């Protein structure tokens, strides 16, 4: 029986490069989602309301104060 060496020389594993063209659509999508969430947390009430009632306002009320947006 021949024995094999378990220890091998340490090598570097290179991370694959992601082309910029693959990142841009996801970055735009993420930015759009962030802007929509920011709208609902910051201005969804009063004159700029998309939905009637205070349902959205009450849902994001604590997050609104956490981020420093006044609402009272």
Please give the residue range of the domain that contains residue 57. 44-72
pLDDT of residue 4: 58
Total tally of structural domains belonging to the chain: 1
What is the full per-residue pLDDT of the chain (72 aa) written as tens digits?
Answer: 555 556 655 778 888 888 889 999 999 999 999 998 888 777 766 566 676 767 777 777 777 788 787 766
Mind giving me the DSSP string for the chain? -----S-------PPPPPPHHHHHHHHHHHHHHHHHHHHHHHT-SGGG-SSSSSHHHHHTHHHHHHTT----
- Flag whether 61 is in a domain: yes
Q: Tell me if 35 is assigned to some domain.
A: no
In a domain, 68, yes or no: yes
Q: Would 51 be classed as within a structural domain?
A: yes
Q: What is the pTM of this model?
A: 0.55
């Amino acid at each position: 029986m021949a024995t094999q060496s378990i220890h091998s020389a340490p090598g570097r594993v290179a991370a694959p490069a992601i082309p910029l063209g693959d990142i841009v659509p996801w970055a735009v999508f993420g930015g759009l989602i962030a802007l929509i969430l920011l709208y609902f947390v910051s201005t969804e009430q009063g004159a700029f309301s998309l939905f009637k009632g205070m349902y959205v306002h009450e849902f994001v009320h604590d997050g609104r104060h956490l981020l420093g947006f006044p609402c009272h």
